[in-house]
Amino acid sequence: MVSKREKLYQAVERLKGLRCPVCGGDVERAGEAFACARGHSVNVHRKWCLNVLSVPIESCYDRGLFAARRQVFAAGCYAPVVEAVEALLPEGKHRLLDAGCGDGWYLNALLTRHPDWCGAGVDISRDAIMAATDQPCAAVWCTADLRRLPFRDGCFTAVLDVLTPASYAEFARVLTDDGLLVKVYPGREYLRELRAARGLPPYEEGQVDAYLRQKTTVVGEKRVTAAWPVTPELWRSFVWMTPLNQDLSAEEKEALAVKPADTVTIDLHVAACRWRA
């Protein structure tokens, strides 16, 4: 079994794309650490991931949320999203960035299916990246701000942005000239049952889509829609895993969890985009 340390070293070597967060120079392995030619080092956590944040940033994405997400992902509710992403990516080897990767489930699913691909996952949540290091794949997991990615220009053939605020300028910088941004964003019926349980209306479509088309040219699209039957246990995991409910106390979440619906609706747009010349 390959250790987390070796998986990190392998992933960095295959990607060949780390950039110093201080001076922007190339970062290479230096013994068990990573540093640029000017001697600026990149912090390597004991769980063998990287941290380029100068100060910790608080996030609502905590261990409880990711434990609930694991249950939802294990049930297969988001597997069609991975299939849609695969269908939109062109043939060939890819270097993927999962921007706002959370616990790394999407990146792991893609790299596991395609062992000749390599990639990195970035999230501002320390708990997210700690959870991501438990994924089986070899990837560069990094706590970082999406507005200042620790990667070289043109490092990736595709950036995956799933239900996460985008940093379009940085995505464009780290993509190859013909690279793709694959954006996943909610349709009107996404998590309809959870929103109804809170007395919230459906998502208003249009704003994300309009901004995406303003910034990029959409070259391929898919829609993932399904009403998944859920057990009371799986309903509880949905309640706890969605950022929709992160303004609620634990007691308020439990009050939602004890009144399960029969289904949860997944309704997501998946769009492959290129920057306009």
Convert the pLDDT of each residue in 188-223 to its tens digit.
999 999 999 999 999 998 889 999 999 999 999 999
Structure tokens at 264: 């949860």
Work out the pLDDT band at 71, boundaries 50, 70, 90: very high
The whole-number pLDDT of residue 32 equals: 83
CA 142 to the chain's CA centroid: 11
The 10s digit of each residue's pLDDT in 230-239 is 999 999 999 9
Average pLDDT over residues 255-261: 96
pLDDT for res 66: 87
> How far is 131 from 102, CA to CA, in rounded Å?
8
Sheet architecture: strand order including 216-229:
27-30, 33-36, 41-44, 50-51, 140-143, 118-123, 95-99, 156-162, 175-186, 263-275, 216-229
Average pLDDT, the chain: 93
Both tokens assigned to 167? 């940093």
Q: What is the rounded average pLDDT of the residues 15-35?
A: 91
Report pLDDT for 30: 85
Q: How many residues would you count in the chain?
A: 277
pLDDT, position 154: 97
Mean pLDDT across the stretch 246-264?
A: 94
Q: What's the confidence (pLDDT) of residue 193?
A: 97
- Higher-confidence residue: 58 or 183? 183
pLDDT band at 63, cuts 50/70/90?
Answer: confident
What is the tens place of the pLDDT at every residue in 110-145? Answer: 999 999 999 999 999 998 999 999 999 999 999 999
Q: Give the rounded percent of residues in the chain with a pLDDT score beyond 70.
A: 97
- Whole-structure pTM value: 0.95
pLDDT at 46: 85
| Helix/strand/coil for 182 | strand
Higher pLDDT, 233 or 62: 233
Model pLDDT, residue 57: 67
The span from the CA of 32 to the CA of 29, in Å, is 7
| pLDDT per residue as tens digits for the range 166-190 | 999 999 999 999 999 999 999 999 9
User: Per-residue pLDDT for 60 more than 70?
Assistant: no
